[in-house]
A = this chain, B = another copy of it.
C-alpha cells in the first residue's frame, strides 16, 4: 500500500532509503464508501489526500445544480483549496466509488518538509507540472466545441466515462446532460 506513494514520487526523483522509510512509517490511511463526503461546501479542511484506489469528485451547487469541478483518481493528489486555512470551502469532495486514501495534515507535512527538504523541493516540482498540465487542459477546453471536449475526454480520461454518471460528466464538460446525450447520439451515427 505504501509502495504506491514511493513509486509515484520515484517518477520524479530518486527517493533515498531513509526518506522512503520516513514516508512509509508516517503514512496514514483511510477507507471510504461510495457516496461518502470528505468535505462540505462551507466546511473546513485540515487534510490532504493521495488516492491509492477509487475516485473523488469535487463539485459545488449553482442554480440548484451540481457543477463538477474535477475528478481525481489513482495516483492523484487532492489538496482542498482551503487546506490548512481558516476559510470555508467553496466546494464538496465526494467519493463516487469506494476509495482508499493516504491522508496528510499540515503538522505532518511541516515536520516532513523540515526534516527532508528534498521532499518539499519535489513538491514544488510536481506543483509546477500540475500547473502546466492544468493550463493545457484549460486551453484545450477554451478552444474546443462541446463535442470536441467530449472526444478529448474520451481520449485522455476514458476510465471516467465508466466511473462517473452522465450528468456529472456533463457539468464537468461545461454542458447540460441533455446536450451530452445528444452529442453521444450524434457520434453513434458516424
Contact = CB atoms under 8 A, between A and B. Distances in A.
Contact of A131 (B134, B142, B172): B134
Nearest to A90: B136
Contacts of A90: 136
Contact of A138 (B113, B124, B138): B138
Interface residues of A, number: 32
Interface in A98-148: 113, 117, 120-121, 123-124, 127-128, 130-132, 134-139, 141-143
A134 B138 contact: yes
Nearest to A69: B139
A9 to B, nearest CB: 15
B128 A128 contact: no
Given A69-B135, A124-B120, A135-B69, A143 B79 contact: no
A162 to B, nearest CB: 22
- Copies of this chain held together in the complex: 2
A81 B132 contact: yes
A67 B142 CA distance: 9
Nearest to A174: B142
- Give the top 8 A-B pairs by smallest Cβ distance, nearest first: A127-B127, A142-B174, A124-B124, A81-B132, A67-B143, A138-B138, A69-B139, A117-B117
14 contacts: A67-B139, A69-B139, A81-B135, A120-B120, A120-B121, A124-B127, A127-B128, A130-B131, A131-B134, A134-B134, A138-B141, A141-B141, A141-B142, A142-B174
Interface of A: 60, 62, 67, 69-70, 79, 81, 90, 113, 117, 120-121, 123-124, 127-128, 130-132, 134-139, 141-143, 171-174
